[in-house]
Amino acid sequence: MRVDVVSIFPDYLAPLELSLVGKARRTGLLDLRVHDLRDWATDRHRTVDDTPFGGGAGMVMRPDVWGRALDDVLGDADDGPVRLVIPTPSGEVFTQRTAEAWAQDERLVIACGRYEGIDARVAERYRERGVAVSEVSIGDYVLNGGEVAALVVVEAVGRLLPGVVGNPESLVEESHGAAGLLEYPVYTKPPAWEGLEVPEALLSGHHARIARWRRDRALERTAARRPDLLDALAADTLDAHDREVLRAAGWEPPA
């Protein structure tokens, strides 16, 4: 997969040289390129913003600068399908399902806005050109720009690419993974710490008992912290035992 990120703070993406994503870049599993938007500014002050039409506080990012940058980075239509990702607090929520879908794409181009955002005609123009444009938010809180969202998207999608995560098995049982439950608590040595013991079930070596213990804890945690995830679960994914655990945890299936 090729991912291009355009920002006025390209150094903000430096953490993507580290860890699994960094290794994926060095091993060619991920072709990540970071661009400075000001390289497409034309005046000697390399201006990328201007005052908002209709008045109001702050500045808006200019469409003409973004247009030159994205035309260059997106390249021609015959270079294959590209998804243009525009992080914005007014976007659809980016979830694990989104990451799984985008991991099937060949190319992502992420346009990181700053100030009050990017002139709305940029998304409109590329949609008109038939480019898949996805305006997404990483959560219901306000950030100062799109760079943090770009870090989130590159890591969440990048780790789903074949060969990036050492043991693909570990992708299955994750929070928001296929099971649709939050993760169970995890433990490692020492078996006793600060007077706290590891749950006996995990020391039993009894795989079925361990699996049951972990699912029960995952159900309880999800009921306590994210009951919305349980409401979204298909009815047939919960067996009688699950329902008993959830009833005891105070969760009632939606009517």
Annotated binding site for S-adenosyl-L-methionine: 113, 138-143
Question: How far apart, in whole angstroms, are the C-alpha atoms of residue 69 and residue 75?
Answer: 10
CB 195, min distance to ligand JD8, A: 40
Do the Cβ atoms of 59 and 115 come closer than 8 Å?
Answer: yes
CB 148, min distance to ligand JD8, A: 7
Which one, 141 or 255, has the nearer CB to ligand JD8? 141
Figure out which of the listed residues 138, 164, 179, 219 binds ligand JD8, where binding follows CB under 6 A: 138
Figure out which of the listed residues 14, 143, 172, 211 binds ligand JD8, where binding follows CB under 6 A: 143
220: CB partners within 8 A, 6+ apart: 245, 249
Which one, 53 or 141, has the nearer CB to ligand JD8? 141
47: CB partners within 8 A, 6+ apart: 41, 62, 65
**33-41, 144-152, 161-169, 225-233 -> range binding ligand JD8 (CB under 6 A):** 144-152
Q: Which one, of 56, 52, 109, 60, lies nearest residue 86 by Cα? A: 109
Question: How far apart, in whole angstroms, are the C-alpha atoms of residue 15 and residue 160?
Answer: 18
Question: How far apart, in whole angstroms, are the C-alpha atoms of residue 241 and residue 247?
Answer: 10
Using CB under 6 A as the binding criterion, the count of chain residues that bind ligand JD8 stands at: 17
87 binds ligand JD8 (CB under 6 A): yes
67 binds ligand JD8 (CB under 6 A): no
Contact residues for ligand JD8, defined by CB under 6 A: 87-89, 113-114, 116-117, 137-139, 141-146, 149
